Chain A
Amino acid sequence: MSASLPKRIAPPPHWRLILREPFARTGLVITLAVIVFALAGSWFSPHSPHALLGTVYGAPERAALLGYDYIGQDVLSRVFCGGRSVVWMAAGSVVLALLSGVGLGLLAGFHRGWIDQVVVWWMDVLHAFPHLILVLLVVSMLGRDPGLIVGVTALAFVPGVVRLVRGLTLGVVNQEFIEAARLMGYSRRSVLFVEILPNIVPALLIHAGTMLSWAVGILAGLNFLGYGVAAPAADWGLMINENRTGLLIQPWGATIPAILIALFALGSNLLAEGAARASSRLEEQG
C-alpha cells in the first residue's frame, strides 16, 4: 500500500544541492563578503567618515589609501561606513515583500473565487507603477524615513511575489497529493503550510535572489538621486553621486562604492541563478 502513496512533484532543493552549483557557491561567497564588510566595516575605519582631513579630491596617500572626496573626507573611511543602510534596507524590503506576498498569493490561489479576483485586480493596479516611480512618489510626499522606504520598496515588489505564488499554488492545488491530504482530513492550515508551501519554496528562493538585486538597484539609485540617506551621512549610493564630478581627477571616490554595490547585486543574482539550476536539475531527474 505504502508504495502507491502520492509522490511530491518537486521536493525543495536541499541546501547542499544548491551549494553543489558553482554559481551558487560563488554567489554566496560574494554576498556574504559584502554583507560582512558593510556591517562590520565601521570598526576598521581608520578615520571618522565625517572628518575633513585632506584637500578636495586629494590623491591617495599613506594616511588615506583611497584619497579624499568632494569636500576632503577620507574615501576609505566612508567606504567602510557607507554600506550598512543599503544592506539592511535591501534585505528588509525583500523579507517584507516575501512575507506579505506569500500570504496574499497563497490566499488567492488556495481560496480562489472572489477573494482571488480582488487580490489579482489590486495587484494589477500596483503593477502599473514601475518600482522606482512608486518609491519616488511616496518618499517625495512622506519624507525619507528608512522604515518608510523599506516598506514602499516591499510594496512595489509584492505584485510580483503574489503573481508567482498564486500561479504555483493554482498548479499545486489540483495535484493528487493535495486531494489525498484533504480526504485524510488534514486541517486547511496544515495542507497550506505542510503540503503546498514546501512545493513553491524553490521558485520563491530564485525570486528572492532576483528581488534582492532589484532592491539594491532601487535603494542605491534612490540614494544616488538624493532621496534616500541625507547628505552628511556616509552611503555608497550617495558617495557615487557626490564624487561623480571628480571622476577624472580622483576616480576612487565614485568607483569603489559602485563596485561594491554591483558586487552585492551580482552575488545575490548568482545565488538565485544557482538555486534555479539546482531546482531545474532536480526536475529533470524527476
Chain B
Amino acid sequence: MSKASHLDSTATGETQPRRIFGTILDQLPSWLPWVLLRLLSGMGVVLALSFIVFAATQALPSDPARQILGPEADEAAIVLLRTQLGLDRPLPIQYLDWFSRVARGDFGVSLDSNVPVSELLARRLGNTLTLLLCVVALSLPLALTLGIVLALWRDSRPARFFITLLILVKATPDFIIALGLMFVFALNLQWLPAVSLMDPDRSPLAQAEFLVLPALTITLGSLPYLIRLVRTAMIETLESEYVTQARLRGIPEQALIFSHALPNALIPVIYGVALMLSVMVGGALIAEVVFAYPGIGSALNSAVQMRDLPLIQGAVLIITLSVVLINLLADFLTVLLTPRLRTAESKVLNFWRRSYRRAVQPDSSRGW
C-alpha cells in the first residue's frame, strides 16, 4: 500500500497528500490498532457489567423493596418505597436513568447510613488499594527471589521440600489462613491487633500495625502462584536456545541469568500479577472481614447484610471495573514489552487468539 503510493507520487507528483497520509500510517506503531480495538472491547465489557449488576440487583424476580424492608413489612410501605426508588417504572427506563447517574459518578445514597455511596466508597477504595499495594510490595520481591532460586536449584532436596510446603499453603482457604494468623500473632503472642480499629482521619500507612495481618493473609494466598509462575518462566527461558547460544559464547553464568534470561522471564509475571490482583480483590474481602479492615470488601459484606442496595451496586461495579482496568493494563504492558508481539503485523487478526496468555495460565501449567 505505502509502496504503491510512493511510486505514484514520484511518477506524477500530483498525489502528494496521499503520500503524506501513507507515511503517517507507516509511522504509526503496528500495535496501535490492536490497542484501540482492545480499549473498545474493554468499554463494551464495562457496559455489559453495568447491565449485569443492574439486572442482578434491580430487575431479578426478587423485589428490592421487599428485600430492603424484609418479609414482614406491610404492603403499603412496600408500594411507597417502590415509588420512592422509582421501581414502578418500566425496566429499560430504570436502567437508562440508573446508568446515566452512575456514569456521572453518582451511585445514590446509602440506605443504611444516608451518606452518598461515592463518598463512602472512595475512602474504602483508598484503604483497599493501600492494602493491595502493600501486598504487591511484599509478594513481588519475595516471589522473584524465591522463584529464581527454586528454578536454579530445581532438583535439590530443599527445593522439593519447599515446593511441597507451597502446595500446602496454596491449598489452605483464605479465611483459615486469616484465622490462623490472628490466632498466633494477635491472640497468642499479642504482637499485633486482631481488629482494625483504625482512625479514619489518618492514612492507613500511618497506622501500619493494622495493615500487617490482612496484608500477610493476602500475600500468603497469592505467593505460591506467583513463585510457581516465576520459576516456570525462568526454567523455560534458561532452557531456550538463545540462552544456550549465549552460554556457548562464554558469557558468565551470572550475567546470563540476570541480563539475558531474567528480563524475558519477567514478562509473563506481569500478567500473573494482574491475574493475582483481580483474584486478590476477592481474597481481600475475606481478609478485610476477618480483621474488620475498612476496605471495599468489608463494605460490600456489610452492605449485603444490611440489604443496602445502592451500596451493593456501587461496590460491585467498582470492584469489577478495577479488574477490567488491571487486565487491560497488563495486556498493554505485555504486548509493549514483548518485541515479537509489538512488531507483529496482523495484530488485529490475532486479536481474539491472544495465544501469549496460554503460557501464563495458572491452571494449564504442567506442575512444579
Q: Which residue of B lies closest to A259 (CB)?
A: B176
- B51 CB to closest chain A CB, in angstroms? 9
The reply to whether B320 and A273 contact each other, CB–CB distance below 8 Å, is no
The minimal Cβ–Cβ distance linking B52 to chain A, given in whole angstroms, is: 7
B183 nearest in chain A by CB position:
A247
Q: Say yes or no: is B352 at the interface (Cβ < 8 Å to chain A).
A: yes
Given A224-B175, A258-B176, A276 and B366 contact (CB-CB distance below 8 Å)? yes
Which stretch of A33-41, A48-56, A77-85, A130-138 is in the interface? A130-138
A116–B167 Cα distance when bound, in Å, is: 35
Query: A120-B352, A133-B320, A206-B363 are contacts. A273–B173 as well, Cβ < 8 Å?
Result: no
Query: Given A131-B282, A262-B173, A265-B173, does the pair A167, B364 have CB atoms closer than 8 Å?
Result: yes
Shortest Cβ gap from A208 to chain B (Å): 9
**Contact at B316–A261, with CB atoms within 8 Å?**
no
* Chain-A contact segment, one of B20-28, B42-50, B253-261: B42-50
Instruction: Report how far A217 CA is from B177 CA in the complex, Å.
Output: 11
* Chain A residue nearest in CB terms to B170: A269
Residues of B within 8 A of A269 (CB): 167, 170-171
Assembly CA distance A89 to B300 (angstroms): 24
Nearest B-chain residue to A241, judged by Cβ: B175
- For B363, list chain A residues within 8 Å (CB): 160, 164, 203, 206-207, 210-211
What CA separation (Å) do A127 and B324 show in the bound complex?
9
Question: How many chain A residues touch B (Cβ–Cβ < 8 Å)?
Answer: 60
Does B9 touch A at the CB level, under 8 Å? no
Q: Which residues of B contact A163 (CB under 8 A)?
A: 357, 361
Would A128 and B49 count as touching, CB distance under 8 A?
yes
Are A279 and B366 closer than 8 Å at their CB atoms?
A: yes
CA distance A283 to B327 in the complex (A): 31
Contacts of A116 in B (CB 8 A): 352
Chain B min CB distance to A215 (Å): 10
Contact call A130/B286, Cβ cutoff below 8 A: no
The docked-state distance in angstroms from the alpha carbon of A116 to that of B335 is 22
Q: In the bound complex, how far is the Cα of B60 from the Cα of A142, in angstroms?
A: 8
Kindly provide the distance from the CB of B154 to the nearest chain A CB, expressed in whole angstroms. Answer: 13
Name the B residues within 8 Å of A120 (CB-CB): 352
Check if A137 sits within 8 Å of B48, measured CB to CB.
Answer: no
Name the residue among B174, B282, B321, B324 with the largest chain A CB count within 10 angstroms: B282
Interface 1/0s, chain A 198-242, versus B by CB < 8 A? 000001001100110100110011001111000000000000100
Contact A265 B172 (CB under 8 A): yes
Q: Is A1 an interface residue (CB 8 A)?
A: no
Q: In the complex, which residues of chain A have a beta carbon less than 8 angstroms from the beta carbon of B57?
A: 137, 141
* Residues of chain A lying within 8 A (CB to CB) of residue B85: none
Closest to A276 in B: B367
Residues on A with beta carbons closer than 8 Å to the beta carbon of B282: 130-133
Q: Is B187 an interface residue (CB 8 A)?
A: yes
Query: Closest Cβ of chain B: how far from A101's Cβ, in Å?
Result: 11
Within 8 A of B (CB), among A90-143: 116-117, 120-122, 124-125, 127-133, 136-138, 140-143
Which residues on B sit within 8 Å (CB–CB) of A221? 173-175, 286
In the bound assembly, the distance between CA atoms of A226 and B304 in angstroms comes to 11
In whole angstroms, how far apart are the Cα atoms of A266 and B168 in the complex?
A: 6
CB pair A167–B355 under 8 Å, yes or no, is: yes
* Given A120-B352, A224-B175, A273-B368: A141 and B358 interface contact (C-beta under 8 Å): no
The reply to whether A261 and B286 form a contact with Cβ atoms under 8 Å apart is no
B interface residues (Cβ-Cβ under 8 A, vs A) = 41, 44-45, 48-49, 52-53, 56-57, 60, 62, 67, 167-168, 170-176, 179-180, 183, 187, 278-279, 281-283, 285-286, 289, 300-301, 304-305, 307, 312, 316, 319-321, 323-324, 327, 352-353, 355, 357-358, 361-368
5 contacts between A and B (CB under 8 A): A128-B49, A225-B286, A226-B305, A261-B176, A269-B167
Besides A143-B62, A211-B363, 6 other A-B contacts (C-beta < 8 A)? A124-B45, A133-B281, A133-B285, A133-B320, A206-B364, A276-B366
